[in-house]
Structures are given as C-alpha cells and as structure tokens.
Amino acid sequence: MKFAYGSSRTGNVTEAVKNISSPAALFFSVASEDMLERTAAEIENAFPGVASIGGVGQTYTDKQFFDAGITVIAMKEDIRVVADVLEQASVMPVKYIRRLENAVKAVGGEKGRTACFDLCSAGADVRAVTTLSDYLCRAGYDLAGGTSNSSSVACNGKVYRDACAFFIFKNLKGKIKSYKENIYVHPQENEKQFMVTEANPKEYRIRTLENMSAEKVYTTELGISRDKITTQTFKNPFGHVCDSDTYIISIKGVEADGSITTFRPANKMDFLTILSMGDYRKVVQDTISRIRNDLGSVSAVLSINCLFRYIMFNDDHYWDSYLAEMSRSFSHAGMVGVGEHYNTQFVNQTMCCLAFE
C-alpha cells in the first residue's frame, strides 16, 4: 500500500486533493465539526464511489503535521477496501452488523490479510469496539482505530451522528497486522493492584478503590494534592489489568465526592494499577523493530495517536522526532484521536495501528 496526501489550511477540498489520483480509499480530518458535512460531500463528488471516512482531529503524514483546515490521506495500490458505518453506536450498533459482514465478503476476507480500521464518534467507543471485535476477532481479523473529537463521523460522503465508520482492508500483496504501543510501565517494586469496589461505567466514574475514595487512593499513592490529579495522568494513568496485558485509562476529572471520572469506563471488580512513565523513546524503537520483525518489508502504517500522547510528546519537544523516527522506517500516516481501539479493547494514552506488509 502507498499513501498520497494533501491539505488546505483554509478548508478548500479542491486544493487538498489536487495531487491525489486513483485512490482506493480516502481518510480525512477537519479542524472543526461544522466543516465535516461539506468536506465529506465534496470529497465524494471529487472521487465518486471511492471508500472514505473522516472525522475531527489533527493529522500527520510522514514528518508533516496538520492542525488546521482539512487533510486528506489517500491509500492506493495493492489493496481492496470497503467503507461503511455502524449507526446508533453508543446504543445498539449490532443492528447494523450485516454491513460489516458484507464489507468483509466484498473484499474477499482472508485471515492474516484482512483487517478493520475504524473511527467512531466520541462516546460511542465501548459498544462499537465490542460489536466490531465480536465478529472480527472470531473470524481472525485484526482491528485498530480510534475516536474522532466530535459527535459525528463521515462515511462515503454522508455524516452520521453517534456512529462508527470503518474501512475493511484486504492487502493483495501480503499481511496486515494490528499493534498497540504502551509507553507506561508497572512499578518495579511493591506493585499494588486496586479492586474497583464502586463505579458507574455509564458516567465513566470510579467511585471507590478497595472501599476508599478513588481520589484518596490516587493522591496517597503518588503523594500529590487533589488539584494535581488531572495533569498527573500524563505521567501516571490508571492501568486496567486484564489477563497478561494492561490497558490504559486516562483521568478526566475529580468530583466533590472523591470519585474520579475517566476517558474509558471501569467496572466494579476490575483490577487497576497506577502506571509510571517508561522510556518512551526506547518503546517507540521497540515497536518499530517488532513490526519489522513480524512483517519484514513494511509498505505502510496507518495509526491513531492519543491526544494526550501528542500533548505530552509535544511539550517534551519529542513529537517531531517521533514522526521522523516512524517515517524513517516506513510510510506512516494517521490521526490524533481522543480514544484508541485495539482488537477487543478501547484504551487511552496509546498508539494503535495497522501495519501492511
């Protein structure tokens, strides 16, 4: 697979797509939700019938970063792609599962060479990921994707509220594999796991850990004051321990009753740990090596990077170096999202991607 791309800081679609020809699929982002409907329709008019999905967020292509107007990423050569959408994504996306099944059939789904990349509207992650992964993972197809910074997403020229748009890719020249990158580690000594003893998953609220307020547990363990909690999550997010893996939960806020709100729900009886920042430069190199070792020759990587990762990398003057490291190894493009999806899990503060052999 190969990428081509274009952008317009003023939101001019004609300008953004002027150097794009014969795309198999188009992934686009806009700076604000009020631009989404017009952009989706104009892209469809420019490339009628070409699979397309889009949302709100910043975008990157190799070493370049775009945070204004619109950006269009075209994917072409040696792929077969279908785009469709699961509607009512936060309520009952399974009603639309036939669309996913038909998309897989249309590309000629084949284990190891077929995968899904999705983009859902904010707040729709849990049921969308569960619905997608229930079908995909049982069939042996990987999933990666994330969340638009908007209540709506676009698919094939139309805008859908409370929805999950997706691409089904088939690599005609080799494998496709999903990866996630976690730059946080478990404490090396005396690691503690805390059971969630009271929570409201619908409100993304953790009330108590080990029957103590979530605020008290978090501040006591880290030796910080209440007012530091929402910034401390950049260095010390929660980790949901699940079998042999850990999935990151970012902290959103702290409430008057001592409960902590998050960007990913936790359920009663989940086990959480408080993670620490690892050597993220080494982690990035390890991810690159793992992709190369698994696939050998890599043609392209399509990814979603968490907004919190972008903010932290940028504050540490590493974001440009990160993009350069990735682009030195393979063609790399994607979007900054507000949530990430990896196979069966909805996660935070993570990079998730599809790598194409």
> pTM for this one?
0.95
Average pLDDT over residues 113-138: 97
pLDDT tier at 246 (50, 70, 90 boundaries)? confident
Average pLDDT over residues 88-113: 98
As given in the structure block, the two tokens for residue 345 are 């899990």
Q: In angstroms, rounded to a whole number, what is the distance separating the alpha carbons of residues 36 and 18?
A: 19
What per-residue confidence (pLDDT) applies to 174? 96
The secondary element (H helix, E strand) that includes residue 136 is: helix 125-139
pLDDT tier at 242 (50, 70, 90 boundaries)? confident
What per-residue confidence (pLDDT) applies to 188? 61
Reply yes or no on whether the pLDDT at 241 is more than 90: no
Strand 59-61 and strand 64-66: the pairing is antiparallel
Q: In angstroms, rounded to a whole number, what is the distance separating the alpha carbons of residues 307 and 29?
A: 14
Residue-wise over 128-152: b if at least 16 C-beta within 10 A, else e?
A: bbebbbebbeeeebbbbbbbbbbeb
Q: In angstroms, rounded to a whole number, what is the distance separating the alpha carbons of residues 221 and 257?
A: 19
What per-residue confidence (pLDDT) applies to 222? 96
pLDDT tier at 66 (50, 70, 90 boundaries)? very high
* Full strand arrangement of the beta sheet holding 351-356: 64-66, 59-61, 331-337, 300-306, 351-356, 176-181
Please give the mean pLDDT across all residues of the chain: 96
pLDDT tens per residue across span 4-30: 999 999 999 999 999 999 999 999 999
Cβ contact 23:4 at 8 Å: yes
3-state SS assignment for residue 152: strand
pLDDT tens per residue across span 170-228: 999 999 999 999 999 987 666 789 999 999 999 999 999 999 999 999 999 999 999 99
Reply yes or no on whether the pLDDT at 244 is more than 80: no
Cβ contact 38:104 at 8 Å: no
